[in-house]
Structure 1
Amino acid sequence: MDDRLDSLAAIEAAVWHQLAGCVAEKTHPWRTPVLATVNGDAADARTVVLREVDPRTRQLLIYTDERAGKVHQLLNHPRGTLVMWSPALGWQLRCRVRLSLEMSGLAASSRWARIRLSPAAQDYLSPLPPGAPLHGPAPAHPPVTRAYFAVIDATVESVDWLELHADGHRRAIFDGQGARWVQP
């Protein structure tokens, strides 16, 4: 960004504007954040795809195979962190989120109806769960058993915004306590 935003309100609005836009803009780097969760006594992280963003409710939606390791992790510890970096903006976001899962309700079934005939549907139709051992490369079109589609709802509880800039780095926190500047 050429013009640096100076007010916390403007920065927070710009963050949510960028998040909402990244869903439609396939090349936006925030579309594929890293989701970190807890796996027993260890951290676990993977890249996910943001499918929907609702700034009003502070919700980020992610699709997943219901048998994926992250599903088990979030059912046992429903908190995580999404980390995103935009080189164009010079902004890093760390969004602390409360995670919930829907596998069979309206949120899942309506979204599955939208993608079930698209190439993306193949991600949720494998007879084997993610990470299952194979004796060679995965078949291009595995036999279809049933859909293992689920929706992860990541409700943002706090945003840690960091701007790296030649004129000085800045950092702010946006959470239930309000918005405030903090040392970068």
Structure 2
Amino acid sequence: MFTSRIESLHILEAACWQELERAASDRQHAWRLMTLATVNGDEADARTIVLREAHRASQSLVFYSDARAGKVRQIEQQPKGTLVMWSSELGWQLRLRVRMQVATSGADVTSRWAQVRLTSAAADYLAGAAPGSALSPLVPERATREHFAVVTAQVQSLDWMELHPDGHRRALFEASQGTWVQP
């Protein structure tokens, strides 16, 4: 938590990434759960995802999905999306325009699965039926790791807004260039 308002765009961008990195490891951080908006045909589609990793150096975020989920098909058809998060503690909203890539195999997926499979979250990727499919009759079969997908979201722009009693502020960061903009 910041005790005073940040005035420098450079420091502000660093603070946003610091909060994202903290959210990836702190289950209580408001930004750990974020809304992902994708394109589904000619409509928008949104859902909550869990931030698993944030990497300032590569300007990327990582979340997991069942490979059979609608969002994975949507990302494969149109890899652009938006992530939105709000922290009442900070008074900050963050909107990230991202370009996503889905991986279902390879060393990165295998190493992440090795960690996830030891947790209760593993059940999220082991259901016998695909997300959103009808459960009649209910088949309690378990699948294997092939449904575990790692989604990497490359941040294209970061749109920060602060809601504050002394005045709202907004800044836009694109290609490491920050600009103050009208809220």
Superposition TM-score, scaled by structure 2 size = 0.95
The equivalences for 1:110-129 within 5 A come to 110-129=111-130
Query: Aligned to 2:52, what secondary structure does the other structure show?
Result: strand
Aligned residue for 1:159? 158
Q: Which residue identity is paired with 1:75?
A: E
Distance (Å, rounded) in 1 between the aligned partners of 2:165 and 2:114:
47
Aligned residue for 2:3? 2
The equivalences for 1:86-105 within 5 A come to 86-105=87-106
* Structure 2 unmatched ranges of 5 or more: none
Distance (Å, rounded) in 1 between the aligned partners of 2:51 and 2:176:
26
> Alignment identity in percent?
51
Distance (Å, rounded) in 2 between the aligned partners of 1:177 and 1:61:
20
Distance (Å, rounded) in 2 between the aligned partners of 1:73 and 1:52:
21
Aligned residue for 1:183? 182
Number of residue equivalences: 181
How far apart are residue 177 of structure 1 and its match? 6.5
How far apart are residue 97 of structure 1 and its match? 0.3
* Structure 1 unmatched ranges of 5 or more: none
Query: Aligned to 1:179, what secondary structure does the other structure show?
Result: strand
Aligned residue for 2:144? 146
Question: Could you list the runs of 4 or more consecutive aligned residues of structure 1 that deviate by over 4 angstroms after TM superposition?
Answer: none
The equivalences for 1:11-26 within 5 A come to 11-26=12-27
Aligned residue for 1:68? 69
Distance (Å, rounded) in 2 between the aligned partners of 1:145 and 1:102:
18
Distance (Å, rounded) in 2 between the aligned partners of 1:15 and 1:118:
29
Q: Which residue identity is paired with 1:97?
A: V
Distance (Å, rounded) in 2 between the aligned partners of 1:58 and 1:13:
11
